[in-house]
Structure 1
């Protein structure tokens, strides 16, 4: 009875033999593939017989270099016509050729046929370039020999490309089909959406039954200039399944911060929150809902929505979240949060805009000289004072244009583990996130 002693792992009872052990035992079968042992391949009999097998790679590399040098000298003219034809397109797409475009042997495909010849930049194969450069080079080659083709198909055109290279490639492809033909692109990039024309964009969506619906980006009642602006400025919404249109950047940052702090990342449900730009938020929500997106609206309550928009929201079954009680977001931050969070919100704001400014502006509201934030905290338990402080924060733009500050409030305070949820704002956030994190 034969057995194999496993020295390094005697407790291993599996029937699998490690490569190191197979190398020691050197098993071989005299069957159809036995001829592999007649070459110096990995694990072959010839390689094991070799006295100094470690010298073989360097010897082969030396031989390959000699062959490449000879090929470059004697065969340059054979491929010169092709090189001259594709070089302008490759360089025209921004691929940097540091030496000279040539054809030479590719050592990874070394063979006695044409597949062993590859495009090179000097002595460096093009396949060794970065993903973006290599993809642009392939795009140039594909379009260069596509004169007789009617269609060009490119999936996820943005893959491996910086925005400026995307712009260049889209322009290149458009020129290629000016006379005849058509290009079909798919994308998940807002950079691509900004480079293509509005009339070229189609939204493809698949419902729960698997049915695919394709809609033109202009297939809504939205004014043409506004629809174009939404694509360019709010392209991320086109790439989601669920869209919450917020009145402004403040709400977007608070929600994203809360999502991170409370570990309720709505993004994993294919949802996004976007800046509706103030008064245009209802119109934007209606626009995306008409394109087939699951859409909702979040606004302040200090300025009522015009009745025509309210009617359209109801007709489109678009949920409308608002703070209520005529509050702007800053008022809701102070009035709608639990008592113990209010001083922390004020401290976070003071750290950002400066304590002297915070105390000075608060003093003008309470008509009393405030020396410390602790003194200001005495006014954070009365709803009427809280409303005045919230209005001050809104008027003075304490948080209005500071995305990072709003994100920090949402993450570190509103969404912090163990944060109370009995007050109005935490309750409202729970309602919003229940909708965002649902497919209903």
Structure 2
């Protein structure tokens, strides 16, 4: 929904009951926006208001409202997805607009997946590149290294190629193909280096991409925090590759104990250790409503965070099928 790239492909299997005549429609309203996105010049017709007290969205911002935008994904029978901005007044006017690429990148979530080693090299979308973009011009350094490599290769004597070069020269002369003096040099494109060619290594000169899964995830989490503007972070199976004591380190670094959170984090888990490290108010149970469309297909159940709920959470356990056994004690229907 929020990824910067728009290359996701859909099939009939993505539609409810394989019924592609009933379009997929997902809307997400986003706040705490960058000043550039809040520009009336860019998205004036689509700036809406959110009342934090009543949890209501106003199509026309009202006094004391937070300014928000609503992004809508539509997929029809042709299976072509369309991400567009939404407001009631713009729809009534027949006006359409889509986010610019630079603004899509600002809203794009960070995914802390099971494979995180690409963040430990200077790739185009790695966290290291974001940390050093103002102080380290990777492209110019790699271009210069490529030139030096070609020059170093050209300076070497390789008598084993003389016979081959002579044969090619003779054949070219016979055919009237002017080649001048033949040389075997490195092709310009053959030694081009990508940004990811520069990566972090430890004291033994071992690339950090060889770290274990858990260690990689922990380190990348710390680097993401250092970037300063994590925005939205997605963590699937937070416990993957981590022992219980390291799970707590991961969650604390993500901000589980922050008084003023700087990011919105969505975590899935099968581990009771993850639940025990979180506050009851940080948990949300999603249940299928069973109601017919157009009613919401799912409902969200939240906790108040009183002492009884928190105590019960500390005792949560899973059965052998991976389902929570004790969470129902928390008065969730």
Question: Normalized against structure 2, the TM-score is what?
Answer: 0.36
Question: Normalized against structure 1, the TM-score is what?
Answer: 0.28
Could you say which structure has the higher helix fraction? 1
State which structure, 1 or 2, has the greater radius of gyration over its C-alpha atoms. Answer: 1
Could you say which structure has the higher strand fraction? 2
